[in-house]
Amino acid sequence: MRIDGRSQGFLPLAPLTLPTGMHEVECRARGHEPLTQTILVPEGDALVYVRLRPLALRRSRALTGSLLYAGVGQWYMGARWRGWAYFTGETVGLLTALTGELGRITKKDDYTNAQRTYEQAVEPEQIAYWRNQANLTYQDVADMQDLRDSGLLIAAGSWVLSLLDAWLLFPQVDVGLGPVPPTMQAGLDPATAARGVHAAVTVAF
């Protein structure tokens, strides 16, 4: 948990003393979306209870994000490095495939011209030269096609891995009874306050 950009440690927290005025409270919990809330601490020594209710992450949103583009689901889950890895993999793969396809089209035109010239050649030297050129450009076409296919394979692999990651490594929500001090519970019945809950956190100031 962070207040005004400074880490305050892990919940539950003991009552904190803050100066009068506006403060920004940031809460992060496994399996939940990051929550930022602005609070006002009035003048005086009264306690201010702030209840933070971060929204739980949804597996469907993570899968949908990864389905649209590799890495988006991981960013939603908070796994930024894995997200960048999958995003980079699909992007590089698609760019490589595009480069290969454009090169294949260009080389195919060169091959067609060389093959036509070879078929129309009459002198032995011209026949040998243009036959060699046709063979070289044909190999260039095959190389560009292999580059395109490799790029598509990399992009598809990154996309599939991103989907599997979003499904198998989706963070579980930690909820249930926990060691939240009863004095930090506001508006709860005595039995619940004695146990403490993790469904929502209450911080006293």
pLDDT in tens, 133-166: 999 999 999 999 999 999 999 999 999 999 999 9
d(CA 137, CA 143): 10
- Higher per-residue pLDDT: 100 or 3: 100
Q: For all residues of the chain together, what is the average pLDDT?
A: 81
Distance CA 53, CA 76 (A): 18
Question: Which residues have CB under 8 Å from 197's CB, separation 6+?
Answer: 176, 177, 178, 180, 185, 188
Nearest CA to 180 out of 3, 2, 15 is that of 15
pLDDT at 13: 66
Q: What integer pLDDT is reported at residue 44 of this predicted model?
A: 72
**Residue 64 — very low, low, confident or very high, per pLDDT cuts 50/70/90?**
very high
pTM: 0.66
Residue-level pLDDT at 42: 80
Mean pLDDT of 177-189: 45
CA–CA–CA angle 36, 179, 13 (5° rounding): 40
Long-range contacts of 81-85 (CB under 8 A, 24+ apart): 82/165, 82/169
50 vs 120, more confident: 120
Which of 16-25, 27-36, 76-85, 118-127 has the lowest average pLDDT?
27-36
Which tokens sit at 59?
A: 């597996």
Asked if 90 and 159 count as a contact pair (C-beta separation under 8 A), the reply is yes
pLDDT higher than 70, residue 193: no
Q: Among 52, 99, 70, which Cα is nearest to 203's?
A: 52
Residue 88 in this model has a pLDDT that exceeds 70: yes
Q: pLDDT tens for residues 37-61?
A: 888 888 777 677 777 777 778 889 9
Torsion sign, CA atoms 175, 176, 178, 182: positive
pLDDT at residue 84 tops 60: yes
pLDDT at 174: 54
